[in-house]
A and B are shown apart, each in its own frame.
Chain A
């Protein structure tokens, strides 16, 4: 039996290259159940690539991923690493929700249709059940009255909340947020943070990439600073953001943001 200290997600020596460029450089990371982990760092430091590697949207070159104690995503065949068969990959992705910077809502479906789509098509739930789940999720993100409109009619903040509801409808065990507020007008950022806070209060495990230090400080159990594909530092928000921070680069980065 797994011990209680078993992390929900364990990354071991993840390396991802794009031709010559090393986007993620041998990163190790444990995310215990219920943790709210925030990743910060300059643009191009590999945050998105790391997040996308977790749900196998990127195929890593080295390392291993364990989810709930199982090795996932890759199999060894004839001495080389291959992506696991597609059903296994889809099954893993179904357990990990992802929210993108640019929402990527399905424009040809209503808001309700977007949120229902996972339960309906992936989990093959009856339409009535999928609808009930979708309505619940829309209530959770504060958009029950937008069920029947198309995404084109929504504001950016509303779109991102629908995207969160769409991910939640799959009942994921882990949520990944890749700069969920970076494409939003400043006055719309708050409503998305509120939705994420609600989720955090429910105990959801999440990994969030953000440039909003105030939000990170408030929400995070742990903050990781990433640069050039490496973790330069990690700790509690107080440790990373506090006056005790003695790393020049991190100080510089934080000063530029504040």
Chain B
């Protein structure tokens, strides 16, 4: 209804003064009637017969903007082209077409640009994550073996201490342990750099977990093996080192592989004690650019790491059990 009224209004002031028409189209846009506004604006004729060039360009550019806002890039371009047909040098129309073309470009172009932009700092974070993982992978099997041997020791104080270590580090959150080591120990006069605190925290935590796994593996070996080793004169230590522990490798690999995969992801927790590793790098980028590509990229890097490690552990497991293949 309003449209009909305005159309007649526009018709009445045709070719003389387009202010009325523009104002009416603005009102329509304000009401949300974009189609109506477009219809109205397109009534401004081309300035062939001495028409108002300024009003024509303004109207078509306004139409282009409306279409662009509606994400109808083709019609926005078409409207610009109307202008360019008559005024090929019109800068506004040319810039708008260029902007529209840029919008049309596939998204991966910008994603690729983001990736290239984020990759250097994510790579640095990845190196730190790898350093943490490798340090913990070096420390925790040794710690775990000591804890396991301590647990099965007949010396009460030793087995009790190892039981306590397992009980404590499995029973409290890793995050809390890291906080305690980094923020809590200074209260006792021990201040550790972040990397040291992180390796100690992860190392102790994973030693406790691996300790239980290794103990289970040792105790799953047939008792006859220890007896046969003793029967040829081996000491307990020799029997453990030469006979029992080597037989646990194959059984250890699947659960230990699981633990190490979890470790790769758990290193993200040390971002809370001032370590800039992969998670922290991604978080910083996200907070700077509000761009989820940084997070997605971090996810991909974590997946690549876990996939590589899974593959390596499967290979090792196969090799460790090669003597069982007939």
Contact = CB atoms under 8 A, between A and B. Distances in A.
B247 A108 contact: yes
Nearest to B243: A106
B201 to A, nearest CB: 35
A166 B323 contact: no
A55 B228 CA distance: 11
B228 to A, nearest CB: 4
B232 interface: yes
Contacts, number: 74
Interface in B216-257: 222, 224-225, 227-236, 238, 242-243, 246-247
B104 interface: no
Interface stretch (A16-24, A59-67, A87-95, A134-142): A87-95
Contacts of A86: 235-236
B7 to A, nearest CB: 93
B225 A94 contact: no
B235 A57 contact: no
Contacts of A104: 222, 224-225, 227-228
Interface string A91-129: 101111110101011111100000001100111000000
A238 interface: no
Given A108-B323, A121-B242, A102 B233 contact: no
* B interface bracket (residues with beta carbon within 8 Å of A): 20 to 34
Given A107-B247, A108-B323, A152-B323, A117 B232 contact: yes
B234 A90 contact: yes
A150 interface: yes
Interface in A158-176: 163, 166-167, 170
A98 B230 CA distance: 10
B231 A121 contact: no
A118 B232 contact: yes
Given A100-B224, A104-B222, A152 B324 contact: yes
A216 B198 CA distance: 67
B326 A153 contact: yes
A122 B326 contact: no
Interface in A212-243: none
Interface string B73-103: 0000000000000000000000000000000
What secondary structure prevails in chain B residues at the interface with A? helix
Given A104-B224, A107-B324, A153-B326, A93 B247 contact: no
Nearest to B249: A108
Nearest to B247: A108
Contacts of A98: 228, 231
B234 A122 contact: yes
Contacts of A57: 227, 230-231
A55 B229 CA distance: 12
Nearest to B248: A108
B223 to A, nearest CB: 9
Nearest to A92: B233
A90 B115 CA distance: 65
A107 B243 CA distance: 9
A93 B235 CA distance: 10
Contacts of A91: 233
A97 B228 CA distance: 10
A122 B247 contact: no
A166 B247 contact: no
A121 B227 contact: no
B213 to A, nearest CB: 19
A97 B231 CA distance: 7
A108 B251 CA distance: 13
A117 B230 CA distance: 12
A97 B235 CA distance: 15
A93 B230 CA distance: 7
A117 B325 CA distance: 22
Contacts of A95: 233
B324 to A, nearest CB: 6
B324 A94 contact: no
Contacts of B247: 106-108
Contact of B326 (A93, A105, A106, A152): A152
Nearest to A122: B233
Contact of B231 (A107, A108, A153, A167): A167
Contacts of B222: 104
A170 B229 CA distance: 12
Nearest to B322: A150
A246 B229 CA distance: 43
Would you list the 3 A-B pairs with minimal beta carbon distance, nearest first?
Answer: A94-B233, A104-B228, A104-B224
Interface of B: 222, 224-225, 227-236, 238, 242-243, 246-247, 323-326
20 contacts: A90-B233, A93-B230, A93-B231, A93-B232, A94-B233, A98-B231, A100-B227, A104-B225, A104-B227, A105-B228, A106-B228, A106-B229, A106-B243, A107-B323, A118-B233, A121-B234, A121-B242, A123-B233, A152-B326, A153-B326
Interface of A: 55, 57, 86-87, 90-91, 93-98, 100, 102, 104-109, 117-118, 121-123, 150-153, 163, 166-167, 170
Given A104-B222, A122-B233, 10 more contacts: A86-B235, A93-B230, A93-B232, A100-B231, A108-B246, A118-B232, A121-B242, A150-B324, A151-B323, A166-B232
